[in-house]
Structure 1
Amino acid sequence: MKQLSCEQAKQIDMVDYLSSLNHLPNKVHNQDHWYLSPFRQEHTASFKVNRKLNVWYDFGIGKGGDIINFGTIYHNCTITEVLSKLSAFQNHSTLSLHPPTISGETASSSSQLAGERKESTDSKILAVAVRPLSANALFEYIEKRKIPLDVADQYCREVDFVLYGKQQTVIGFPNNAGGYELRSENFKGSSSPKDITFIDNKTDQLVVFEGFFSFLSFCIINKNQTTPLTNCLVLNSLAFLDKSRDLMEKHVRVHLLLDRDLAGKKHTEKALNWNRDRYIDKSEFYGGHKDLNDWLIHNRNSLQQGQRQGKRL
């Protein structure tokens, strides 16, 4: 694998790179993408990426810079190690490379520009209505993901929200803090506050998912079992894995069904290293696929045959 130079690494789009680490913006305004800080726990987004300049600024710590500066802090490693990680991501993912749009900017001056503008209220996702699923476009999207409507109805809602003065209607998956994960064919985001979703079925077994479509897929795979469904934890972001450790360790066994991309495998290994007797990696069930829902999409017919034979995850 060819190692990127610093100049080549700085062309990796930070929004794409953060997405590969499972950090998605809470709100977007023009070129400014606002995130909950990847460096710490917070409830109000204070980490901003200016996509035009391809630089970041964290108002909580008063620091900013380019993707290399970010990598040394996030991964707690040297510049050489960051370049290795960025080279691996470039070779094993679909990260897009964007040439700098403004030349002559230093890291320090760019980071100041990234932090200059004030947050605008029209950049916030504002949920204005919540109701049972009813829109045909959402039904079609759910069917594409191979989720039966009765399962989606049980756990999801239809949410109207306003962003930049425009109203959109999406699928909403509620979290424990009153926010929603928001999805449609053309939209992926979340409303504040961002949090986990814990479903307590009063068992001592827990299954952990990265996203809610994997959770819904698990419900389908185990739909015909006679015993109660295990407790389920949907992280909604890998950033919540560490923060959910106390909750997870209240259970005798924790079955990990995280995504099989680099970030998901990294966090699975982290949990296994906490306690290999308690934590179990079950992702081999959908080996060769990105996540459990991707497996379901490609194996719906064989699943139905397996269910008739009593097979389950």
Structure 2
Amino acid sequence: MNYTDLKHEASRIKRDFSIIDYFQGLVSAGALKYEGMQGKEHFFGFLSQRTGSIAVDHRTNVWYDHSAGRGGDVLEAVQVFENKTFSQSVEQLSDFPTERIVVPKNKPKAAPNIKIESVKKVSHPALLNYIRSRGLESDDISDFTKEVHWCNKGKSYFAVGFPNESGGWVLRSSIFKGNILGGGISIQILGTPERIKIFEGWFDFLSYLKLSEATDFKAIILNSTANLKLSLILNVLAECEVVDLYLDNDATGEKYTNFFMKSAQLYHYCRSNAISTDWDLNKLKVTRGKFEKLISTLKISSRDVEGIWCFQTEVTDQRYRYKGFEDLNELLKSHVDTGNQNHIRQ
């Protein structure tokens, strides 16, 4: 990328790239923890911090680390948190959301000091109360979660822990949200899978189980929408044609649901027309127009493009089942609050 192209791409990234998505990616990678919102800002922190010091303003798309006295835009965040050069930062963020992999080379020095002290059945009263606050009981989650105690720099912590595919833990409590020992997706297989269901988080998956009593499916729990890369989508589609999406009823959920469904249409169109589905993902270096670029690379005629977006697949958007609620867990909590015994269909 020459200097002029680099400047133009940097300007586009600063304008279009969601800084919240970037910091959520750091949480998914186990480098940071999410502390929640204070006022109109999101707060993040290193695992070694009791209180997160990094404020992220989604309105202005900037961040500021109060403890270090520095901040800036998303490109400056990549340079600080991943020790990248300016040009490397631009090239990395140009891949989003197709193949961006946020794995900081220089994680906080405290990370290697994290030590798991115990993993056991959830029994701590504070965690049981937290689970109940999410509309669930201990029996609803006992097959999927543990009570994880860990130590970091001489201080002990505990939370509800869910395993992920990298061998780490997704940790949740009323005061903590983060990962340790690696981030990434989680997978659960129930019965003899007939379809794949994709959830944003563990509590959406657990809420679905309680509301539907469903069996015989493979669940992919993203733990962060930043993990829904095109490479994962292609692996899912190659494994199973029947896919149900249970993402959030918000702008991010809309964006990634549409991204998955359009990817599925193009993938199955290619399969039906003997066009290669072995796509070179490294060539998809732009956020906008990624499908147009791929269609051009695959040498699909412009007169046939309309047929791609009309192509019928067995990928379904299930958000209508919890219309009016942010996610499945909010639907479950409303059922618990009102005593509603109605279940959703499998």
1:232 is paired with a residue of what secondary structure? strand
1:282 equivalenced with 2:315 (yes/no): no
Aligned match for 1:63, one of 85, 96, 104: 85
Distance in structure 1 (CA, Å) of the matches to 2:112 and 2:86: 21
Q: Which moved more, 1:270-279 or 1:180-189?
A: 270-279
5+ long unaligned stretches in structure 2: 1-10, 33-45, 55-62, 98-103, 266-312
Return the match for 1:192 from 166, 172, 181: 181
Paired letter, 2:208:
F
Aligned residues: 241
Cα distance in 2 for partners of 1:131, 1:198 equals: 20
Label 1:17 to 1:239 Cα distance change in 2 as closer, same or farther (>3 A): closer
Listed as ranges, the gaps of 5+ residues in structure 1 are: 1-5, 34-47, 77-114
Paired letter, 1:139 = L
Residues 64 and 184 of structure 1: is their aligned pair in 2 closer, same or farther, counting only changes over 3 Å? Answer: farther
Distance in 2 (alpha carbons) for counterparts of 1:118 and 1:180: 17
C-alpha RMSD of the superposition: 3.6
Amino acid at match of 2:331: W
The structure showing larger relative contact order (alpha-carbon pairs under 8 Å, at least 6 residues apart) is: 2
DSSP-derived class of the 1:272 partner: helix
**Deviation, structure 1 residue 124:** 5.6
Change (3 A) 1:203 1:192: same
Tell me if the contact between 1:159 and 1:170 (Cα under 8 Å) persists in the aligned partners: yes
| Residue 168 of structure 1: how far off its partner (Å) | 0.9
- After TM superposition, the runs of 4+ consecutive aligned structure 1 residues lying more than 3 A away are 16-19, 29-33, 48-52, 57-61, 69-76, 122-126, 301-304
Change (3 A) 1:75 1:198: closer
1:175 aligns with 2:164: yes
CA drift of 1:260 comes to 1.9
Report the CA distance between 1:289 and its aligned residue.
Answer: 1.8
How big is each residue's C-alpha offset from its partner over 1:193-242, in whole Å with a ceiling of 9 and x where there is no partner? 2121111233231110011000000110122x5xx342111011222212
Q: 1:50-93 deviations in whole A, cap 9, x for unaligned? A: 5531241347672259x9x79974669xxxxxxxxxxxxxxxxx
**Matching residue of 2:209:** 219
> 2:107, 2:245 → 1: CA distance?
40
- Conserved? CA contact 1:206–1:251, under 8 Å: yes
CA contact (8 A) 1:206 1:232 kept: yes
Give the partner amino acid of 2:226: A
Percent same amino acid among aligned pairs? 24
Contact kept, 8 Å, 2:31 with 2:107, in 1: the verdict is no
**Cα separation, 2, equivalents of 1:60 and 1:22:** 12
Q: 2:341 is paired with a residue of what secondary structure? A: helix
**With structure 1 as the length reference, what TM-score do the two structures score?**
0.65
Partner of 2:342, secondary structure, is helix
Cα distance between partner residues in 2 of 1:184 and 1:210: 17
